[in-house]
Homo-oligomer: A and B are copies of this chain.
């Protein structure tokens, strides 16, 4: 299986462009990518005996998402004093307690005053939890700061940046390979390729005056296949001889015992599904699972099937990966979604986005009849080729029920073992520790419990408890020669929420209001009071949404209006002068209680009193 073949003949230009009309401009975007200058040899400068590196994880240590850390060299006598390297700038998706929020990005408050000391931003791979914060964060840090990543990583960053031009589109992109060496003074940086479910993923090796620090990025170890890329164990074994000071390692799957599955097993299962499909096969997956997409394309070709790819992000990603040689596609097997009916059903494979039941993804549009060309027909088999992200279960269940109703068969990741993830499991993590033999271990990338379970793995690998550092977001670790210490220093690491154009302007109070509005709606009272007589003019206006169905609640509204009139007029007749704040508070409380008594619901009551 070819996963990387730079000399592959280019397919006819604009192959995918036919249906989307948007692709191919990626080549323009990539024009700005420079090859990074690789150093001949890395030479670590001497540091003073008190030199240290502050390791500051601002995100990713209490969640899966918004991964970002920075490393700051502290050595007042040195010309490198204060220099900073940033690793990853990811986003996190909101949970159900954050209605209306688009996503969450890392908090860079502590970094902003020092932004001129940032020498480089290194991106380990192109998943959103590692790149998603770039459009918002980079303009604030300084768009000219060099950003490093492999070709595919940079291409996906560049593509995404287009969607955020209003935030300042410019980035200083520098392409590295697994073997690039970067000289940033106190930080002499190398990389190692890692296996993950997106090609072009790397880990980072930082040679510094205080010792060697390693950041794995996301990784797995697949000893039986290179489909998902190869974790360069040989490089790591060499590091094992060099007395590595600190290993910062991916904890995403630290809950899982054993070894991660090999892509070979997935390939076999996928091959059986594609080979045996008696009708159309519709495969839903993530646009970023490029290794998986490549496998499917190869197998489809082997069994003489035709493949229609639909979904803008999937098309673009495949286009990019092919352009860069990570994917090989025989153009003869590609067909348009509009043309699938021209082929026998059992010859057709449709590759689409939407295995999580996302509202606007292609699979959902097919299932709900909103797709221009494709609809489910009896005999179709639909494969959900990725595990379900918590929170999406009900949408996926809805999709599944609808598919069965329309006569399709469904194969999900639970029914088959096609759900190998991209992350090392416990025995892989142990193997990595035993290979690198670090003095200290800092689990990163995962919820707190994952980090603790990773720490347990470290102890099983023979590390002493005090050599394992479990930090929180924002908690600073100090790395000195021969020691890593968690400090009490905490930098701001609370959520920065993106909502439309607003970044960080949605605070707790706004979210609380949204939750309250969602639960019982709103009840606005408008009373116009004649300042001469103190009487409410006519009948108070009431506007309510999300509380009760107004047309069926006339009696309730009638009584509420009477109550409003009574409360207001009681005040105007007994208070001189009238304390309107008191009147409004009274309206809020008494009308709120009245509505609760009648309905056992607590809408947000907003009283407006207008004196005329």
Residues of B within 8 A of A505 (CB): 548-549, 552-553
CB distance from A376 to the nearest CB of B (A): 13
Q: Jot down 10 A-B pairs with beta carbons below 8 A, ordered by A.
A: A405-B448, A500-B601, A501-B600, A505-B548, A507-B549, A517-B521, A526-B610, A528-B612, A541-B608, A541-B610
- A50 is an interface residue with CB less than 8 A from chain B: no
User: Taking A390-B397, A510-B549, A608-B541 as contacts, is the C-beta distance between A522 and B522 under 8 angstroms?
Assistant: yes
A612 smallest CB distance to B (angstroms):
4
Q: A453's closest neighbor in chain B, by CB?
A: B404
**Does any Cβ of B come within 8 Å of A344's Cβ?**
no
In chain A between 441 and 476, which residues have their CB closer than 8 angstroms to a CB of chain B?
447-449, 452-453
Chain A 45-82 interface residues, beta-carbon cutoff 8 Å to B:
62
Q: Mark A584-612, 1 if CB is under 8 A from B, else 0.
A: 00000000000010111100101010101
Interface: A116 (CB within 8 A): no
Q: Are A401 and B448 in contact (CB under 8 A)?
A: yes
Other A-B pairs, 17, CB within 8 Å; known A404-B452, A506-B549: A96-B394, A390-B393, A390-B394, A391-B391, A391-B393, A397-B449, A400-B447, A405-B448, A507-B549, A510-B521, A511-B546, A514-B519, A517-B517, A517-B522, A524-B543, A528-B612, A541-B610
A425 to B401, CA, bound (A): 19
Closest residue of chain B to A401 (Cβ to Cβ) is B448
Nearest B residue to A396 via CB reads B390
Chain A contact patch, size range = 35 or more
By Cβ-Cβ distance, the 4 closest A-B pairs, closest first, are A500-B600, A518-B518, A390-B393, A517-B517
B543 close to A606 (CB less than 8 A): yes
Residues of B within 8 A of A543 (CB): 524, 606, 608
B residues near A511, Cβ cutoff 8 Å: 546
Binding site for B on A (CB under 8 A): 62, 95-96, 99-100, 255, 257, 390-391, 393-394, 397, 400-405, 410, 414-415, 447-449, 452-453, 499-502, 505-507, 509-511, 513-522, 524, 526, 528, 541, 543, 545-549, 552-553, 596, 598-601, 604, 606, 608, 610, 612
B604 adjacent to A545 (CB under 8 Å): yes
Partner of A519, one of B100, B255, B397: B100
CB distance from A253 to the nearest CB of B (A): 12
